[in-house]
Amino acid sequence: MTIPANSPTLRSWIPVAKDSDFPIQNIPFGIASWNGEAPVPATRIGDTVIDLSILADMGLLDGLGHSREAFLAPNLNALMAGGKQGIRALRQRLSELLQEGNATVRDDNATREDALLPLDQVTMHLPVEVGDYTDFYSSREHATNVGSLFRDPANALFPNWLHLPVGYHGRASSLIASGTPIHRPMGQTRPDPQAPPIFGPTKQLDLELEMGFFTFDGKPLGQRISTAEADEHIFGLVLFNDWSARDIQSWEYVPLGPFLAKNFASSMSAWVVTLDALEPFRIPGPVQDPAVLPYLKADDGAFDIALEAALAPEGGEATTICRTNFKHLYWSMAQQLAHHTVNGCNIRRGDLMASGTISGSTPDSFGSMLELTWRGTKPLTLANGEERKFIADGDTLILRGHAQKDGLRIGFGTLSTKVLPVVPFV
């Protein structure tokens, strides 16, 4: 697919560092505020945030099918109403305005001063108001590792796993933006299988290194989205950390799955990177054996996006604990969306679909502490000499992701979350 805004020859009049995640070929979308003003839609070039409401007020974003009010909204949902073509047209217009040869904003000092602000003066917010959130379980390596840890390694995958994208419905109310701290959750655990359960803080707080995608409006209730149609319903991706309390989960999940172990928080990065921006990094997906049922056959492939997780103790430097890749997912986004809707379930603008933990085939590519420390039996050593079996109070978890090819780098920035002590009962 040829998309003009993706041309590797484009350069912006806004300075961009060589290793930046945000060259002019990215044009991500987020929600930003500064100087106490209300949050508004924005994009980013290098370390400069561009207020789209100012550009809209100047009439520079007219004729794209978006109302002026959409550029004043505290989330991206109104802009998403135009679907794939509306966002594509907006991204193209922004690309043209920000190219080095375009003087429209570059030489307009007043507009430039109002619309452009350094990243360090900006507060980022959740980009989308999420109505429904679904978490999948689409990494074969992760599912195999977890099955090996808790069941028979020879039968690590459940019988359904190779036939459908396993998923469950999560909690949208506790989705939080990067930079928002979380408190250690509490719940029931049963450390001694011969004794009654106990109540208290989790002792096995864990990350789940994932990515999530947002949907445009889907079809009416009762209709389905095919794998061939799926891309038209996908807005873009974010980094995602679906926090997990492993000891709470292992006691509570039978028979209906995780509950308190997962609903206390899920963190996402600030910038939505469009599927169009990631198109140059699309690659063939994994061979699926056994063959999938006809409604799941897809040719959307995978995306080569390098991912990493780092852990920084209170007052200490960060240690990279995991390097993996989005391409390791067995089930693609098109297959996830097709399966989600094959029974007639309707999706809505702003729905979030998370990938599930993304693990590779080597121990340093496992996407959770559960796997990295092999359920606490192989502790990690941080740069300051401290050991971790799971995540401690005061730790900050940092996720990063980017795609890179032929000198072009498209990234997501960082997803950072600090863990605070449990909130006591009063």
- Catalytic residue numbers? 142
Cα-flanking dihedrals φ and ψ of residue 328, to 5°? -75, -10
- Displacement of CA 232 from its chain's centroid (Å): 19
CA distance 232 to 253: 35
Question: The tokens of 97 are what?
Answer: 């305005």
Structure tokens at 239: 């980094």
Report DSSP letters for 92-134, one per residue.
Answer: HHHHHHHBTT-HHHHT-HHHHHHHEEEGGG-EEE-SS--S-EE
Q: Are 210 and 382 in contact (CB under 8 A)?
A: no
Distance CA 42, CA 29 (A): 6
Cα separation, 141 vs 257, whole angstroms: 20
Distances (CA, A) of 94 to 21, 43, 97, 105: 17, 9, 5, 11
Six-digit token string for 38: 């209300």
